[in-house]
Amino acid sequence: MEDCLAKKMEITVSEAEKRTGRNAMNIQETYTAYLIETRAVESQSEGQCAPVDSLWRRYSEFELLRNYLSVTYPHIVVPPLPEKRADFVWHKLSADNMDPDFVERRRIGLENFLLRVASHPILCQDKIFYLFLTQEGGWKEMVNETGFQLKADSRLKALNATFRVKNPDKRFTELKHYSDELQSVISHLLRVRARVADRLYGVYKVHGNYGRVFSEWSAIEKEMGDGLQSAGHHMDVYAASIDDILEEEEHYADQLKEYLFYAEALRAVCRKHELMQYDLEMAAQDLTSKKQQCEELATGTVRTFSLKGMTSKLFGQETPEQREAKLKVLEEQIQEGEEQLKSKNLEGRDFVKSAWADIERFKEQKNHDLKEALISYAVMQISMCKKGIQVWTNAKECFSKM
Amino acid sequence: MEAEGRLPGPPLHTPSPGGGGGAGADSDPDPPAGAPDAARGPLLAAAEVLSLDDEEDDLEVFSKDTSLAEVNSFSPSMPISPSSMINQYKFEDEPELRDLFITVDDPESHITAIETFITYRVVTKTSRGEFDSSEYEVRRRYQDFLWLKSKLEEAHPTLIIPPLPEKFIMKGMVERFSDEFIETRRKALHKFLNRIADHPTLTFNEDFKIFLTAQAWELSSHKKQGPGLLSRMGQTVRAVASSVRGGVKNRPEMFTEMNHYMETFSQKIIVLDKIAHRIYKEEREYFNEMKEYGPIHTLWSASEEDIADSLKGVASCIDKCCKATEKRMAGLLENLLPILHEYVLYSEILMGVLKRRDQIQGELDSKVDALANKKTEKDLFSEEIGKLEDKVECANNALKADWDRWKQNMQCDMRSTFTSVAENNLHYYEECLATWESFLASQTVHPHVEEDSEDRP
């Protein structure tokens, strides 16, 4: 962690701006651009503030960066981006991407993403990431030049395709199961939370109606007038207080959402491992069958049924020269295959080792962050209760003076 | 208690029926401190339209419609706490002043060939001399209460007779004979009789006594006596006829003010009733969602190790808050909703009383006008007019006294009800606060204990 970029550089996504421009298909579109500001962290003794560098990026560039990182570091649980479209909204929040509240929360989410990457011991050292932060022009071309798209396995895109792996690694199977559960439970939680927020909003806001009616009623009352009027004022305060409360809660929801998306990243690592294992097993299988073929050719015995075998029986056997040639080819292929298998095995073992190291790191981070989030939720509830106590204490006093 | 047979004059120490504890004994209200300027005269609220703020436009606009359409607030699954029943039986008055104690309970279903109906047990305990016994137990059905009310209205046209619960709820989701409905009605009937018992004049009404003491067959035969239906209808027709013409132009200023007051009060109380119902509905919806919220955390904790305890802690907090919100809802249902509803009915009653006073005045006015035109039979007329003048004066005095009494009680009731609403909410927030604070304490203490638990399998 000592070498990670986050320690050496201050990174913020400080502003968001609406822009219009022409896209790749020459169609006019509106999008939001985000200002990334970076500044080298100077040691205290220097006492000078380094200049701030800044550049603008839009969401699609963030996506490109993340795709690049996912493909280039398949064994890493790559931090997720904030959601593309507003999801799990309760009615008062807009689901519109251009809504200023949504844009603001996305800005915070993007900053969080950059900080996560910059704090990751391996990812923070990536050149492309560094250039993303420091070089505005030509960055896209540089990313494409790395040729990472070629490395991307299109099979991974088919999320639901199953690869029948004969000897699955139990740890990865369990982890994949866990990531599915995590995704399911967090999205359920977020859905219900949104509904609870909706209802809570309703309760508070209806109390606001008291204010006006009390005020109108107080006009015809002699003794009750003052009490009613001031009680009404407190009801207005009560009704208004819910807006801030729920806005704060939205940040809590965003924290959970991050781990909802992290679960997806975790799952992706498991899938990659699965794929690797599958390829390995396929390669091993292929090698075995080639060896068998070799043996059959050499000894002339047909152990397994093959069309070639049948045809050669029917139409006469090959000439020794033909057989010799085939044998040679097969032997070469076997040689190749064995080397490939060896390197695949090595690759696999390396993958498992480094993946598991990152998974452990991720687990610790997740436990720490989620616990903090739950604590902050409790703090929010406490604050809400205290506000409620204050308002109703005041209201009670007014009522008792009626 | 006031002496029997005395005409109701200015109220002395009038006990407040079912109202706030002890505070109703003030006979001289303090001079208003800094009362709003407009309070003295009538404030015509007729032009007001209740529109909601922009941010509340998802809430319904509360119109002046007086239909009882919004009474759909009773959830069959809502338990009524037994302690609320005790409150209904408890008399907030100084017990020494009361000599008549009435309870309404034990609803029972009766099925005959023609109909099905409910009777309620009415128990009366009294130390009054004019009652032959000190304890009575009778069974009465809703019809009997209606009869009593109409007899009281007949005998005292310008007194404020307490409201009865409605015959049935129109658009509600409440079945006619559901437990919910019966219980609400029972409580209202109990309140009705007690309000009568607390009224300085009505408490000594003969029909009231018969209602409390007569056995079923005695009551039936007594009901059949007295002015028949047709003559009663005749009275109504005459009353309506005279109301069309008179009673308004010679109306004393005081009663015009009362009318204006009642117009505004009526509007406001109806809106308040709707607001209260809406709050109840919103709280119930919130409760329903909260019920699902806690268990998700418990479910999640099953897939976690390190944070399982924190998750379970949050689940438990949410569940406790859920229970607290249930209590809060129950409080609304027991306190605020019935009182507001009662005063909605009261405002109708009061408008009716004011009208009847006008009618009585109208009778006098039309006779005076007739005298001015006729010039003959002067003596006969003047005797009649004298009687009518007395009648008007009695009616006015009765109404004035009862009005003052009603206003005081209303103030008391409102103060105590809204104060208890505030207390309810305070308890709710205090309970939730305690829950979350104890959770927080558990999370930030013993970090070393957490590290140990990681090592355990």
Banded pLDDT at B227 (limits 50, 70, 90) = low
Specify the higher pLDDT residue, B396 or B51.
Answer: B396
Chain B residues in contact with A192 by the CB 8 A cut-off are: 289, 292-293, 296
Nearest to B39 among A220, A378, A393 (CB): A220
Nearest to B433 among A209, A221, A382 (CB): A382
Q: pLDDT value at position A48?
A: 64
Upper half-sphere CA count for residue B300 (Cβ side, 13 Å): 30
Q: Report the range of poorest mean pLDDT among A98-112, A197-211, B82-96, B280-294.
A: B82-96
Query: How far separated are the first and last CA of chain B, in Å rounded?
Result: 77
CA-based Rg of chain A, rounded to a whole angstrom?
31
Banded pLDDT at B311 (limits 50, 70, 90) = very high
Question: Closest Cα partner for B138 from B181, B177, B103?
Answer: B103
CB contact under 8 A, B286 and A199: yes
- In degrees rounded to 5, what are phi and psi of residue A56? -100, 140
Å between A257 CA and nearest CA of chain B: 15
B126-145 CB burial, b ≥16 within 10 A, e <16: beeeebeeeebebebebebb
CB contact under 8 A, B422 and A210: no
- Number of residues that make up chain B: 457
The mean pLDDT of chain B is: 76
Quick check: B75 pLDDT over 60? no
Alpha carbon distance B180, B330 (integer Å): 13
CA-based Rg of chain B, rounded to a whole angstrom?
28
The residue-averaged pLDDT of B296-309 equals 95
Q: Is the pTM for the entire model greater than 0.80?
A: no
Quick check: B457 pLDDT over 80? no
Å between B354 CA and nearest CA of chain A: 18
Q: Which residue of B has its CA nearest to A189?
A: B296
Give per-residue pLDDT as tens, A259-291: 999 999 999 999 999 888 888 888 888 888 888
Nearest 10 degrees: Cα torsion B9, B13, B14, B20: 150
Fold assignment, B248-444: Substrate Binding Domain Of Dnak; Chain:A; Domain 2 (1.20.1270)
Q: Is A242 on the interface with B (CB under 8 A)?
A: no
Q: Report the range of poorest mean pLDDT among A118-132, A198-212, A348-362, B8-22.
A: B8-22
Banded pLDDT at B72 (limits 50, 70, 90) = very low
- Number of residues that make up chain A: 402
Alpha carbon distance A243, B408 (integer Å): 39
Rounded to 5°, the CA angle A27-A31-A34 comes to 140
A238, A368, A385, A386: which to substitute to probe chain B, counting the most B Cβ within 10 Å?
A385
Q: Report the range of poorest mean pLDDT among A181-195, B53-67, B279-293.
A: B53-67
Chain A residues in contact with B299 by the CB 8 A cut-off are: 185, 188
% of residues, chain A, pLDDT over 90: 53
Å between A220 CA and nearest CA of chain B: 5
Residue B244 · residue B363 · CB < 8 Å:
no
Alpha carbon distance A176, A157 (integer Å): 16
Chain B residues in contact with A198 by the CB 8 A cut-off are: 289
Quick check: B3 pLDDT over 50? no
Quick check: B31 pLDDT over 60? no
Å between A218 CA and nearest CA of chain B: 8
Quick check: A52 pLDDT over 90? no
Q: Report the range of poorest mean pLDDT among A21-25, A387-391, B95-99.
A: B95-99
Å between B433 CA and nearest CA of chain A: 5
Chain B residues in contact with A225 by the CB 8 A cut-off are: 32, 35-36, 39
Q: pLDDT value at position B175?
A: 55
Most confident of B3-12, B59-68, B380-389: B380-389
Residues forming CATH 3.30.1520.10 domain(s) in chain B: 97-225
Upper half-sphere CA count for residue A245 (Cβ side, 13 Å): 24
Nearest to B29 among A181, A206, A223 (CB): A223
Q: A 154-173 residues with CB below 8 A of B? A: none
Chain A residues in contact with B292 by the CB 8 A cut-off are: 192
Specify the higher pLDDT residue, A147 or B445.
Answer: A147
B57, B429, B432: which to substitute to probe chain A, counting the most A Cβ within 10 Å?
B429
DSSP B116-133: EEEEEEEEEEE--TTSSS
Q: pLDDT value at position B66?
A: 34
Q: A 66-95 residues with CB below 8 A of B? A: 91
Residue B36 CA to its chain's centroid (Å):
27
Nearest 10 degrees: Cα torsion B82, B87, B90, B94: 160
CB contact under 8 A, A378 and B440: yes
Q: pLDDT value at position B301?
A: 96
The residue-averaged pLDDT of A218-247 equals 94
Å between B90 CA and nearest CA of chain A: 21
Quick check: A325 pLDDT over 90? no
Q: Is A341 on the interface with B (CB under 8 A)?
A: no
Give per-residue pLDDT as tens, B314-336: 999 999 999 999 999 999 999 99
CB contact under 8 A, A220 and B272: no
CB contact under 8 A, B310 and A182: no
CB contact under 8 A, B285 and A206: no
Residue A32 · residue A18 · CB < 8 Å:
yes
Alpha carbon distance A206, A213 (integer Å): 12
Between the alpha carbon of residue A194 and those of residues A93, A150, A253, B18, the distances in Å are 10, 41, 9, 42
CB contact under 8 A, A202 and B286: yes
Chain A residues in contact with B256 by the CB 8 A cut-off are: none
What is the three-class DSSP state of A57?
strand
Bridge partners of residue A29, in order along the sequence = A21
The residue-averaged pLDDT of A140-153 equals 85
Specify the higher pLDDT residue, B116 or A34.
Answer: A34
Between the alpha carbon of residue B198 and those of residues B147, B204, B334, the distances in Å are 19, 10, 22
Q: Which residue of A has its CA nearest to B278?
A: A206
B48, B60, B287, B296: which to substitute to probe chain A, counting the most A Cβ within 10 Å?
B296
Residue B99 CA to its chain's centroid (Å):
23
Kindly state the tokens that stand for A253.
């929801």
CB contact under 8 A, B300 and A186: yes
A175, A188, A221: which to substitute to probe chain B, counting the most B Cβ within 10 Å?
A221
Alpha carbon distance B300, B310 (integer Å): 11
Kindly state the tokens that stand for B12.
């002395």
The residue-averaged pLDDT of B351-360 equals 90
Alpha carbon distance B288, B282 (integer Å): 10
% of residues, chain B, pLDDT over 70: 68
Banded pLDDT at B221 (limits 50, 70, 90) = confident
Quick check: B32 pLDDT over 50? no
Q: Is A393 on the interface with B (CB under 8 A)?
A: yes
Cβ atoms within 10 A of the Cβ of B287, count? 21
The residue-averaged pLDDT of B403-432 equals 95
CB contact under 8 A, A389 and B426: yes
DSSP B126-152: E--TTSSSSEEEEEEEHHHHHHHHHHH
Chain B residues in contact with A234 by the CB 8 A cut-off are: none
Q: Which residue of B has its CA nearest to A184?
A: B300
Q: pLDDT value at position A35?
A: 92
Chain B residues in contact with A199 by the CB 8 A cut-off are: 282, 285-286, 288-289
Q: pLDDT value at position A56?
A: 92
Banded pLDDT at B404 (limits 50, 70, 90) = very high
Nearest to B271 among A186, A213, A392 (CB): A213
Helix (H) or strand (E) holding B16: none
Chain B residues in contact with A260 by the CB 8 A cut-off are: none
Between the alpha carbon of residue B200 and those of residues A296, B16, B100, B110, B342, the distances in Å are 119, 11, 12, 35, 20
Bridge partners of residue A55, in order along the sequence = A36
Cβ atoms within 10 A of the Cβ of A136, count? 15
Alpha carbon distance A90, B58 (integer Å): 13
CB contact under 8 A, A385 and B430: yes
Fold assignment, B97-225: PX Domain (3.30.1520)
How many CB pairs below 8 Å do chains A and B form together? 183
Q: Which residue of B has its CA nearest to A92?
A: B55
CB contact under 8 A, B429 and A205: no
Helix (H) or strand (E) holding B177: none
B300, B406, B421, B449: which to substitute to probe chain A, counting the most A Cβ within 10 Å?
B300
CB contact under 8 A, A386 and B433: yes
Å between B257 CA and nearest CA of chain A: 10
Give per-residue pLDDT as tens, B414-425: 999 999 999 999
Specify the higher pLDDT residue, B89 or B161.
Answer: B161
Nearest to B429 among A182, A385, A400 (CB): A385
Residues 6+ apart with CB under 8 A from B405: B11, B14, B160, B199, B200
Rounded to 5°, the CA angle A211-A393-B58 comes to 35
Alpha carbon distance B184, B119 (integer Å): 14
Banded pLDDT at B112 (limits 50, 70, 90) = confident
Give per-residue pLDDT as tens, A60-74: 999 999 999 999 999
Q: pLDDT value at position B13?
A: 41
Specify the higher pLDDT residue, B448 or A164.
Answer: A164
The residue-averaged pLDDT of A196-214 equals 95
Residues forming CATH 1.20.1270.60 domain(s) in chain B: 248-444
Q: What domains sit in chain A, N to C, each tagged with a CATH number?
A: 153-301+320-401 (1.20.1270.60)
